[in-house]
Amino acid sequence: MIYRSYKPEDFIALYAIEELCFQPPDRFSRRYMRHLIQQTNAATWIAEDGGEMCGFGIVEWTHEAAETVAYIQTLEVIPEGRGQGVGGELLRRLENSACAAGASVIWLHVEAGNAAAIGVYERQGYRVVGKEKDYYGRGRAALNYAKHVGGQQVML
């Protein structure tokens, strides 16, 4: 398995993974996905095996008054690639990018019933800090998970 940064020519394969992992209305549109990836304050990591993309993740960050706060936009692994540590390794890469940008905290939304994703986040030290009722639609709550990381405070 190779882990590397996103390149523009990756978009078609990346979006095919989005289509495998999420059904509408949960799926990001192509336009929104491009927007997320192209943000200045964001990093997209790719997992690739034998030249085939098998997962990706996107993290973004904002420099706020007192600290830099990072947010995991998505983490996705193709069904046949799961359970081998790919999601966990992508998450570590996203964290490293956020830390390099000075983040002191990383947070995310995850659907309350998404045990696979929650397992990955909890094993990596994320803890529940909130819950948003109906975030993913009626009766589908999101949990907010967060982790403090050792980022340097960025003075702007």
Using rule CB under 6 A, residue 106 touches ligand COA:
no
- 112 lines the binding site for ligand COA (CB under 6 A): no
- Specify whether the backbone of 83 is left (phi greater than 0), alpha (psi in -120 to 50) or beta: left
Contact string 23-62 vs ligand COA (x = CB under 6 A)? ----------------------------------------
Question: Do residues 106 and 62 lie in contact, with contact meaning Cβ atoms separated by under 8 Å?
Answer: no
> Which CB sits closer to ligand COA, 84 or 96?
84
Query: Considering the complex, what minimum distance in angstroms separates the CB of residue 87 from ligand COA?
Result: 2
- Alpha carbons 24 and 22: distance in angstroms, whole number: 7
At its nearest, how many Å lie between ligand COA and the CB of residue 88?
A: 3
Query: Positive or negative CA dihedral for 80, 120, 36, 43?
Result: negative
Side chain identity, residue 109: H
